[in-house]
Structure 1
Amino acid sequence: MEVEGRENDLYEGPSPASGFVHLWSQWQLLDSILPTGGFAHSLGLESATQARLVVLPDDLQTYVIHVLENTGSLLLPFVYAITISPDEQTWHKLDKLLNATLTNDISRKASMSQGSALMRVAAAVFSEIPLLKLLRSSALASGLIAFHYAPIFGLVCALLGFGPEIAQRAYMFVTMRDVISAATRLNLVGPLGAAVMQHRVTPVAEELSKKWMNRTVDEACQGLDDQTWYASTKLQFLDSYMRILDSNPRLLVQSAATRLHQSVSDRRMLLCFSIGSLRLPRICRKIR
């Protein structure tokens, strides 16, 4: 269902008569108190911590930077696309494209959950923009929209008067904020240490923002370093073994675990491959 008679509202932005009031709405969008569910998703940090890939503060800082790199390369194009063309048709197109792009089930569900929450909250809080409520009602009625976070964030930014570049920086900011907040909840760093780390990473975040800014969705990609690619490949190898073991527990567990152990020399990498099942490290210890 198309939203009729409101198309121009998407492009008008804040009224000049509102003075600086719209700035307060922009700041509120970035405020951690806005209940969008961002703190419910650790952006993979919890799994990395359990796998002992993130132990020291330097590990955490490196992890945050990698998250920002991947966020910029994959998701900033979606934020940019909706801010330069903030209409219902573009939003639906980007939502469907991102739904097909996110192949990781956990990441896809987290994106949908956060996006749905942001759309619901924005429609209720920013009542001066009735189009948000109309777009949400239309999407819910159709049942065809997944409500992914990045396009909705860009859409709300555009309606609140953010320019495309500021909107993209804002998305990187909330991503950095959320992953560092997850680190405090996991007791990897204290509140003061988290603030110091966020300030220290800011110059890197700005460079990454400029690196991936204003790109089309055709250029969206998932950037992986060699170690991440290696871990991902071995994780698929492990998952295949675990599916076999779950379907037939009488199979030779020792053979499966030994082959995996022989293929991985780094103990930390072996722990990384155990994500999703903590049984394998125990099996390997018994074999030794």
Structure 2
Amino acid sequence: MDTTAESVGDLLREWRKRRRFSQLDLASEAALSTRHLSFVESGRASASRDMLLRLAEQLAMPLRIRNRLLLAGGFAPEHPERALAAPDMTAAREAVEAVLAAHMPFPALAVDRHWNLVLANAALTPLLADVAAELLTPPVNVLRLSLHPRGLAPRIENLAEWRHHLLNRLARQSDVTGDPVLAGLLAELSALPFRASRTRPAAANAVAVPLNLKQDGGVCLSLLSTTTVFGSAMDVTLAELTLECFYPANAATRAALLTPFSFPDAVGDSS
């Protein structure tokens, strides 16, 4: 990402407003004077590396943005960014693969910050029947795969409900991160045509929004998803990795997924 036009003040002001902090709020949290913070934002004063890291922590900046803030201040980035396939990321990749493998025979996948598929276990592949080939060409965006008319959308019985859930989640993520790629993805997916199903929405006392996916033979799988992230990641790539694990929402789905069948090799595209 090109940071030549960015300044410390621009980034601090953007993220302070994004977090709905006043200068007084941020200065108090970071143990600074409001006057000093104002001078840093206006470019009348420079900030030390420690101060920038303290401000970034109070603003809950993503690691990628913290690196940009440091670069704008003339300092080296704090957090490395390595591909998951890199030799020194072996332990992290093996941990992800272990989680995905242990989740069999239920589907599980890992995605990057833009919802592109990184790894998946073999239980995902049977769910992708009839999906258009272009949607399965790397990089595979799993949100596009879910909501596109040539993807899973025609087989999702509660499409309106599931679509609303995914778009709301993406909107929150876009707002929290300020990532223009996520904002563009949100606009693209929001504009996709869809036909609302006639199924009733989840009951008010439901524990979560299920994914109700029709399969061949009239079988409907009802799945609940959970999200896992690396809470103590210091690498940008690892901090931005999300594991999505699906569980059967009812006994019929559990029985269907536990029925032995031949799984193909696990899918994924790790760069």
- TM normalised by structure 2 equals 0.27
Higher relative contact order (CA 8 A, sep 6+): 1
- TM normalised by structure 1 equals 0.26
Greater helix fraction, Structure 1 or Structure 2 = 1
Greater strand fraction, Structure 1 or Structure 2 = 2
